[in-house]
């Protein structure tokens, strides 16, 4: 019942007491006429005074000792500025809707911050939590960027999806490949423990390891695999779990959204890890897609992972367009965004749907995929694109829990 008005409170307030009428005059004699006139005037004055008081209350004005009308302290909360519904308003409560966030955008651009705060209920730090950025030299941590993002999320009632404890491109240069296995294990363990402990209770999920598999599904040939052997993956999950037992721990990769050879291999890896008692809670599907492709049987693919008992998440969705951008390409892009959302909504184990940046003004795509761009759901001027319209439309089609037609909208 919190926040609800009780029936009693909702009843209309009783009418204001009316001034008692003067006693009825029995005999309209001439002598009594002046007295009646006085009474009539008095009655009119009383009624006028009551009306004025009523109006004053209705308009929130009260008289002060100085006889000057002043605005009263409002007793009714001011109406909130109405804005069109956002993704976070329509997404089912079991699914977080997130975006990767760019630190520079956050500190510089008010429009960016406004959309990030209102449209999404989760944030993934795009780069701020990568190892090389957090620990540029041994034991010297620069938390400012990550702290800023976590603080922003908390102010806007958003969850933080931590990305990533180990990636393939963001290991600091000072990590020396010549070190012994014991030394390497110690720096990796210290890093995982330091970062997860710092944000214990404030990060709801972590990408513990990112892109652990190669294109063909074999374990990626990294320093860690070579020196520590395949057991390093399970060890990382155990260290992270020890540092924050409440955080959900994910393994995240690309090229696994549809039924691919790599997805088959990831499925087996997760099965083995779970069998060995490794605390893997979820699998992240990056979903960096091209406008003219379609992942094969994404729903079936997500479902087979869910059958292992893990959550699944769309973690980095964007749909890059081969430039130049045209209206027709935007429409196909929108259809693909919709398809990925449909897949997530079709699988109860899907706990979040995250885009890799929301505006074409700040997407990583042009820098990393030459010839491509316009991959996001808002254009560079922060205007919603057909992709955003399609996502909203898809969310409006969700039947309401009462079965009384489409949900909120």
Residues with catalytic function: 211, 316
State which of positions 245-274 bind ligand XIL (CB under 6 A): none
Q: What angle do CA 211, 212, 213 make, to 5 degrees?
A: 90
364 scored as a contact of ligand XIL (CB under 6 A) = yes
| Cis preceding linkage at 88, omega within 30 | no
286 scored as a contact of ligand XIL (CB under 6 A) = yes
Q: Name which position in 281, 316, 325, 360 contacts ligand XIL (CB under 6 A).
A: 316
Strand 122-125 and strand 96-101: the pairing is parallel
Which residue matches tokens 């919709």?
338
Q: Name which position in 126, 135, 244, 325 contacts ligand XIL (CB under 6 A).
A: 126
Minimum distance of ligand XIL from residue 243's CB (angstroms)? 21
Structure tokens at 154: 């908390």
210 scored as a contact of ligand XIL (CB under 6 A) = yes
CB closer to ligand XIL out of 304 and 369: 369
CB closer to ligand XIL out of 108 and 181: 108
Instruction: Return the axis-axis angle of helices 327-346 and 386-396, rounded to nearest 10°.
Output: 30
- β-partners of residue 253 are 285
Minimum distance of ligand XIL from residue 278's CB (angstroms)? 21
The DSSP code for 219 is B
Contact 311, 248 (CB under 8 A): yes
Q: Name which position in 127, 158, 287, 354 contacts ligand XIL (CB under 6 A).
A: 127
CB closer to ligand XIL out of 127 and 339: 127
Contact 348, 404 (CB under 8 A): no
| Cis preceding linkage at 164, omega within 30 | yes
CB closer to ligand XIL out of 126 and 257: 126
x/- track of binding to ligand XIL for residues 75-114 (CB under 6 A): ----------------------------------------
Residues 6+ apart with CB under 8 A from 382: 111, 112, 115, 359, 361
Give contact residues for ligand XIL (rule: CB under 6 A): 126-127, 167, 210, 286, 316, 364
């Amino acid at each position: 019942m919190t926040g609800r008005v009780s029936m009693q409170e909702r009843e209309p307030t009783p009418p204001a007491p009316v001034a008692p009428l003067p006693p009825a005059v029995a005999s309209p004699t001439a002598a009594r006429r002046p007295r009646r006139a006085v009474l009539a005037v008095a009655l009119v004055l009383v009624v006028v005074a009551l009306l004025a008081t009523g109006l004053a209350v209705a308009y929130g004005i009260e008289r002060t000792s100085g006889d000057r009308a002043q605005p009263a302290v409002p007793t009714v909360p001011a109406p909130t500025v109405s804005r069109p519904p956002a993704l976070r308003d329509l997404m089912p409560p079991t699914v977080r809707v997130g975006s990767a966030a760019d630190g520079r955008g956050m500190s510089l651009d008010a429009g960016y911050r406004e959309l990030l705060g209102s449209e999404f209920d989760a944030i993934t730090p795009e780069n701020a939590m990568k190892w090389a950025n957090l620990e540029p030299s041994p034991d010297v941590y620069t938390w400012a960027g990550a702290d800023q993002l976590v603080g922003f999320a908390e102010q806007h009632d958003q969850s933080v999806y931590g990305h990533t404890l180990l990636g393939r491109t963001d290991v600091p240069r000072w990590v020396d490949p010549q070190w012994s296995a014991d030394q390497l294990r110690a720096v990796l363990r210290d890093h995982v423990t330091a970062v997860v402990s710092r944000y214990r209770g404030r990060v709801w999920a972590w990408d513990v390891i990112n892109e652990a598999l190669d294109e063909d599904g074999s374990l990626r040939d990294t320093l860690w695999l070579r020196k520590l052997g395949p057991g390093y993956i399970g060890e990382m999950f155990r260290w992270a779990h020890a540092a924050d037992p409440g955080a959900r721990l994910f393994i995240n990769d690309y090229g696994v959204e549809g039924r691919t050879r790599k997805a088959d291999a990831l499925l087996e890896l997760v099965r083995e890890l779970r069998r060995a008692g490794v605390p893997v809670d979820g699998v992240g599907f990056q979903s960096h897609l091209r406008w003219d492709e379609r992942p094969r049987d994404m729903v079936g693919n997500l479902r087979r992972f869910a059958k292992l008992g893990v959550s699944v998440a769309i973690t980095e969705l964007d749909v890059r367009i081969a430039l130049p951008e045209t209206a027709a390409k935007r429409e196909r892009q929108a259809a693909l965004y919709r398809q990925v959302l449909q897949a997530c909504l079709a699988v109860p184990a899907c706990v979040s749907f995250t885009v890799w940046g929301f505006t074409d003004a700040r997407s990583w795509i042009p820098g990393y995929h030459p010839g491509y761009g316009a991959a996001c759901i808002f254009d560079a001027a922060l205007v919603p694109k057909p992709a955003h319209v399609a996502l909203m439309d898809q969310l409006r089609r969700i039947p309401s829990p009462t079965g009384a037609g489409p949900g909120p909208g």
